[in-house]
Chain A
Amino acid sequence: MNIRTPFFVLLTSIVTVLIGLALAGLGTWLVLLGGSPYYLLAGLGLLVCGVLLGLRRYVGAWVYTAVLVATAVWAVWEVGLDGWSLIPASLRRLCSASGSGRLGSPAASDPPVAAGLGSGQLSDFRWP
């Protein structure tokens, strides 16, 4: 890991790796029990993303974007357009997205996730 990595990027990287580990580990258990493979795949995606960010490889943010888009597609596929059921998947996107918003990288090279998703997302959601 690059010691010149800015603090917030490093923090984001570590948190993303930890979440990735948790999702991939528990997700493996779920797959072994015959459940959805989404968590395992998303966890692996986050792991890759976190490691890349830690190496100051901003392509990691694009990996994150891919996980985000895949999650949105998966969530709607699994539960349909149902507000309550979409919360667990959306919340992860939104929380992590506001984290990546602090990357502080030049706007032009920002992946959509960092540019577009501010912390305002949570207030957009009205609890039914």
Chain B
Amino acid sequence: MAVIVFVVATGYRISDSRYLVFGNPSGWENQDRGSDPSVADDAWNFYGRTPAGDRYSPLDQITPSNVSQLKQAWSFSTGDLPRPGENKGGHEFSFEATPIKVGDAIYFCTPHREVVALDATTGELKWRYDPAGDMSHNVYQACRGVSYFEAPAGAPCPHRIISTASDLPRLFEVDADTGKLCESFGDHGMVDLREHMGIVPAGFHFISSPPMVINGRAILGGWVYDNQAVGEPSGVIRAFDATTGALSWSWDMGRTPANAPLGKDDIYTRGTPNGWGVYSADPKLNLVFVPLGNATPDYYGAERRPFDDAYSSSLVALDITTGQERWHFQTVHHDLWDFDVPVGPSLVDLPGTNGEATVPALVQTTKQGEIYLLDRRDGKPISPVEERPVPRGDIPNERYSKTQPFSVGMPALRAPKFQEADTWGATPIDQLVCRIQYRQMRDDGLYTRRA
């Protein structure tokens, strides 16, 4: 008995730390460039606080040693709950918003796209705006956040909150102080994002992430209802004048050049990889960094066109003013695993070599656990990226990339290969059944081929 107690107790201590693995440090150090002066120290203006995606506050009153003593100051309930059928049968209802804080107010959106403004100190409701509309055809009700825009001096609606509705893809701006639509933006505050999109079946396309609002532009791409058809609504990236709502440019990889203006009846190339995640931007280099998904259907790529294959699961750097591509970097070739890039990079400044002051770089995380360190001026890897052979499958008509890019100089966020002994069950019989299932499966590693 003593032995068993010892085993369990020791096991408890060890399992406490079993998932803490300290990888090899990359050897790179971020130069401390101080906090971004365009965002006040006590503000969180963007999804990642700054356009660089820092996700870090310079405030220092809360520390690891006193965080345990924090007490709740206030709470607020939006009252936005799932409606019948919205959270079952494969439908999702999720509160995904990362609030932003500008001045003394907190702004965020609810799954049904209401925009809420709270007093940051008291948690009291300042206002809420409901774009309304019928969202019952969406399989997914979510909103990752809203964006903030300060209009040029003299423009009406000086402080604005930018967000989107999901009954139809609609972009809107409301006055951050009053919660009323900014009448001078688009059509009485609204821009219909279906323009030039061709047929958009109900529930097939809306915007789930906050637009990147930078250098006077509101830049966005959307969510599409994956795996329903080929030729779904386009993955085009569009930029609107954040003051007027006029289209500034569009980047449609199926056109040459991709940022060419469209004729009156043209539609954006259908079924292209879409940039559904949150973007990052470098206002100095005037670049927006767009993480792209893959061309749906996600797990079958025989129908993909050359531009789909060129950009699927890539990070693309576009000029904020013109939409012209500066560079792109592909993280998975001919992605058949839905490893689409889910979020924009975090920007870092590395110590320069050869007398250079600093090297503007970015760190891109991916679903496959690879972390890429790139020069953000040209997209060239700073930490070596190696093309390594991967298994290839034999589905008729499908193409397979012979190699995939591995970021060999950076730590990878990947668990060790799964073993039979890793199976678990509440009882030995559960575990035994799990082991049988494990033995019936095939695991070729990260790029396991589909049978």
Q: Interface residues, chain A, CB within 8 Å of chain B?
A: 19, 22-23, 26-27, 29-30, 33-36, 39, 42, 72, 76, 78-93, 95, 112, 116-117, 121, 124-126, 128
- Contact call A30/B421, Cβ cutoff below 8 A: no
Q: How far is the CA of A80 from the CA of B13 in the complex (A)?
A: 12
B426 partner residues in chain A, CB cutoff 8 A: 87-88, 91
A85 partner residues in chain B, CB cutoff 8 A: 11, 15, 421-422, 424
- Contact call A86/B8, Cβ cutoff below 8 A: yes
Sampled A-B contacts (24; CB under 8 Å): A19-B429, A22-B429, A23-B429, A26-B436, A27-B432, A30-B432, A35-B435, A35-B439, A36-B421, A72-B3, A82-B18, A83-B8, A83-B13, A83-B15, A85-B15, A86-B7, A88-B424, A88-B430, A91-B427, A112-B1, A116-B1, A121-B1, A124-B5, A128-B15
**In the assembled complex, B352 has its CB within 8 A of some CB on chain A:** no
B7 partner residues in chain A, CB cutoff 8 A: 72, 76, 81, 86, 90
Nearest neighbor of B425 in chain A, beta-carbon distance = A88
Cross-interface CB contact of B12 among A39, A95, A126, cutoff 8 Å: A126
A90 partner residues in chain B, CB cutoff 8 A: 4, 7-8
B1-25 vs A: 1/0 string, CB under 8 Å? Answer: 1011101101111111010000000
Nearest neighbor of B440 in chain A, beta-carbon distance = A33
Cross-interface CB contact of B11 among A36, A81, A121, cutoff 8 Å: A81
- Nearest-neighbour CB distance to chain B for A86, whole angstroms, equals 5
**In the assembled complex, B42 has its CB within 8 A of some CB on chain A:** no
From A22, A87, A112, name the one whose CB has the most chain B CB atoms within 10 angstroms. Answer: A87
Could you say which interface size class chain B belongs to?
Answer: 20 to 34
- Nearest-neighbour CB distance to chain A for B21, whole angstroms, equals 14
- Contact call B11/A30, Cβ cutoff below 8 A: no
**In the assembled complex, B416 has its CB within 8 A of some CB on chain A:** no
Known: A39-B432, A121-B4. 5 other contacts (CB 8 A): A72-B7, A80-B14, A81-B10, A82-B15, A83-B16
Q: How far is the CA of A126 from the CA of B15 in the complex (A)?
A: 11
- Contact call B427/A88, Cβ cutoff below 8 A: yes
B422 partner residues in chain A, CB cutoff 8 A: 85
| B-side interface mostly | helix
Cross-interface CB contact of B4 among A34, A35, A93, cutoff 8 Å: A93
B4 partner residues in chain A, CB cutoff 8 A: 72, 90, 93, 121
B432-445 vs A: 1/0 string, CB under 8 Å? Answer: 11011011100000
| A-side interface mostly | helix
- Nearest-neighbour CB distance to chain B for A67, whole angstroms, equals 11
**In the assembled complex, B215 has its CB within 8 A of some CB on chain A:** no
**In the assembled complex, B431 has its CB within 8 A of some CB on chain A:** yes
- Contact call A84/B432, Cβ cutoff below 8 A: no
- Contact call A34/B439, Cβ cutoff below 8 A: yes
Q: Which of B112-148 contact A (CB under 8 A)?
A: none
Q: How far is the CA of A29 from the CA of B429 in the complex (A)?
A: 13
- Nearest-neighbour CB distance to chain B for A21, whole angstroms, equals 11
A87 partner residues in chain B, CB cutoff 8 A: 424, 426
A23 partner residues in chain B, CB cutoff 8 A: 428-429, 432
- Contact call A125/B433, Cβ cutoff below 8 A: no
Q: How far is the CA of A19 from the CA of B427 in the complex (A)?
A: 11
Q: How far is the CA of A88 from the CA of B426 in the complex (A)?
A: 6
- Contact call A36/B420, Cβ cutoff below 8 A: yes
Q: How far is the CA of A34 from the CA of B440 in the complex (A)?
A: 10
- Contact call A84/B420, Cβ cutoff below 8 A: no
Q: How far is the CA of A89 from the CA of B15 in the complex (A)?
A: 16
A29 partner residues in chain B, CB cutoff 8 A: 436
